[in-house]
Structure 1
Amino acid sequence: MDIVERLGLAVWVKDLKAARSLGRLGNIHYISKRLKYVYLYVDGKTSDQVIRRIEKLPFVKRVEPSQRMNISLEFSRPVHS
């Protein structure tokens, strides 16, 4: 079994009913009714194509990719005197 690289996307939408159709393009993880965004995961290899496709949808305001890959996860212990 191979582990597939995923990319998280925050998709800001105008209409939440139409936002459910984003499930065709990736795995919906969370839908915020108050802030009107959908967080979904897409395949990392085809993420550029999927982002362009999502941005063309009429109910989408903007798409923000996750910055998790750019964050360093190495932490060091503080040195006490």
Structure 2
Amino acid sequence: MFTERSGLIVWVTDTKPARNLERYGTVHYISKKMQYVAMYVHADKLEDTMRNLQRLPYVKKVERSYRNEIKTEYTSNMADKTRFYSL
């Protein structure tokens, strides 16, 4: 049902033409101060999209986001220390 997406950080020289990045994927955020665009693209087309984005004249650098590879499920293997600190 849901397609697998990967995040990209695209560093640009100007944010005005950066609005055209919508044709490559979903633009999530455009930072005018730091001159970057956070966007999501289909995971199966990631390499082709990165290559096409790098060819654009207003793009300085394209970085892949590793957010989906970070473990977000945590386990508490440590003992509860609240009994030591109670009065």
Normalising by structure 1, what TM-score?
A: 0.91
The alignment partner of 1:62 has SS state of strand
1:5-46 CA distance string (max 9 Å, x none): 001111000011111110111111000011000011101111
Q: Kindly provide the amino acid, as one letter, of the partner of residue 79 in structure 2.
A: V
Cα-Cα RMSD? 1.1
Instruction: From the CA coordinates, give the structure whose radius of gyration is larger.
Output: 2
1:47 aligns with 2:22: no
**Is 1:26 paired with 2:60?**
no
Q: 1:79 is matched with which residue? A: 79
Aligned partner of 1:5: which letter? E
Amino acid at match of 1:13: V
Equivalent pairs: percent with the same residue?
A: 43
Offset of residue 75 of structure 1 = 1.0
Q: State the distance in 1 between where 2:73 and 2:41 align.
A: 25
Distance in 1, matches of 2:16 and 2:48, equals 23
- The Cα of 1:74 is off from its aligned counterpart by 2.6
Gaps of 5+ in 1: none
In the alignment, which residue of structure 2 is the partner of 1:67?
66
